[in-house]
Structure 1
Amino acid sequence: MAKNSITFLVYGRYALFTDPVTHLGGEKCSYHIPTYEALKGIVKSIYWKPTLIWYIKRVRIMKPFRTQTRSMKPIAYDQAGNTLSIYTCLADVAYQVEACFEWNTYRKELAHDRIDGKHYEIAKRMLAKGGRQDIFLGTRDCQGYVEPCRFGEGKGAYDDLDELGFGLMFHGFSYPDETGENMLKARFWRPVMKNGIIEFIRPEQCDIVKPIHPMKPKVFVQGKNFSGLKEEGLL
């Protein structure tokens, strides 16, 4: 295995994977499979620094699709207090995920932090501890848990299903610090599951991209909002 790749099992009682249109307010209904952006958020909760970019390579569905409705009281955006909504979530989910990271070449101010082996070893330690931050399956209302695993081990729910398409789905967001463009964009694609595994295309391979609004990346300045390697004891 390359020194930039990790595999893990993520599971939880509920999951809610939505697209940007239904992400805020009102009733919500989950996709049947996790989105690229949701899995990327899970990996970043395990370990992340702006020096690198995580890419999701593939996901394996370990448990059958089950949906369950839940009564929720989200914050009302047009008035004070809360409102009542019905969320259609996935129930009892588990996924095997393979992810890898690459250096963020757009972060030239952090080029000195591109140390071979350092981030890989930290990511493995954080994964073994269950993640550096709390794990959520699409939304904060759905707590998740992670642990190391070997991708492909065990019995998956759809190992014997040849092929299943899911139509047009949300892939993820393209942020300025990862694209070099001062624009936030949303990407879409058409996933296909083969024998229980979904192979993700890379963000730049998505042919359906929608600009959201102008946005500039955060700039890291030594001594102001970035401690640097000397303060971390690495030099």
Structure 2
Amino acid sequence: MGYGIKLRVWGEYACFTRPEMKVERVSYDVMTPSAARGIFEAIHWKPAIRWVIDRIHVLNPIRFENIRRNEVESKASGRKKVIYAAEERQQRASLVLKNVQYIIEAHFELTEQSGEEDTAEKHYNIFLRRARQGQCFHRPYFGNREFPVNFDLLEEDAEMMKYSNVHTGEIDLGYILLDQTYHVNDDGETVEVIPHFFRARMINGVIEVPKLQEVNR
């Protein structure tokens, strides 16, 4: 296990889309572990490390809001390099989370691609420096790029105590997306994407995140 890190993240809106909703976007009640991992990767990621989410603290009340957004019908690809937004624009309703705030506890593990120079201490210090200065490879977001993430590093346990959870007792949140694994062919093309879910329970505002290998047993 790598060094543990605690990051507070917050924003005005979030949408962690439920995969079973095909037409209109509907968010899970809370942030998914894969979305949390994406925030850490936006701040610091190299092939030598793999981020693992340990737990998520839900600090604010869970509130939803209906909004309508303009989206384009298709995506750019190798065959379709140009999209004319005026011709393909369509409105979609979305049920999104409003005024979200979380504390994410995570650690990283060294991968098989790490070299002699890739020590845990080195990557830990790189992340601390970048997080303290608000640096990131790209602006992290809550599910959709139009919902940007604000973040700051919690370096002492006393700093966590300032952000008390508003939730008490145990809440069964149902099955939530944990992560996805990708199978590629010999040409490096993704041929299969397998989603993995876990039964999320929030106890006094805290969600313990299982390891992927535990879910797959």
TM range (shorter): 0.7 to 0.9
Closer/same/farther in 2, CA of residues 116 and 37 from structure 1, 3 Å limit: closer
Number of residue equivalences = 197
Check the 8 A contact 2:69/2:93 in 1, yes or no: yes
Structure 2, gaps ≥5 residues long: 76-83, 185-190
Separation in 2, partners of 1:91, 1:116: 36
Higher relative contact order (CA 8 A, sep 6+): 2
In the TM superposition, 1:81-92 aligns within 5 A as 81-92=88-99
Which one-letter code corresponds to 1:66 in the other structure? Answer: R
Check the 8 A contact 2:14/2:96 in 1, yes or no: yes
Check the 8 A contact 1:67/1:89 in 2, yes or no: yes
In the TM superposition, 1:202-213 aligns within 5 A as 202-207=211-216
- Deviation at 1:111? 2.5
Write 1 or 2 for the structure with the bigger share of strand. Answer: 2
Give the TM-score normalised by the residue count of structure 2: 0.82
- Deviation at 1:69? 1.1
Check the 8 A contact 1:156/1:196 in 2, yes or no: yes
- Deviation at 1:189? 0.8
- Deviation at 1:141? 1.7
Runs of 4+ in structure 1 deviating by more than 4 angstroms, as ranges, are: none
2:132 corresponds to 1:128: yes
Hey, what does 1:212 align to over in structure 2?
A: none
Structure 1, gaps ≥5 residues long: 209-235
Check the 8 A contact 1:174/1:203 in 2, yes or no: no
Give the TM-score normalised by the residue count of structure 1: 0.76
- Deviation at 1:114? 2.2
2:42 corresponds to 1:35: no
Q: Considering only aligned residues, what root-mean-square deviation do their CA atoms show, in Å? A: 2.4
Separation in 1, partners of 2:106, 2:40: 8
Aligned equivalent of 1:95, options 74, 96, 102: 102
Identity fraction in percent: 25
Closer/same/farther in 2, CA of residues 190 and 102 from structure 1, 3 Å limit: same
In the TM superposition, 1:13-52 aligns within 5 A as 13-22=12-21, 26-52=23-49
Aligned equivalent of 1:148, options 128, 143, 153: 153
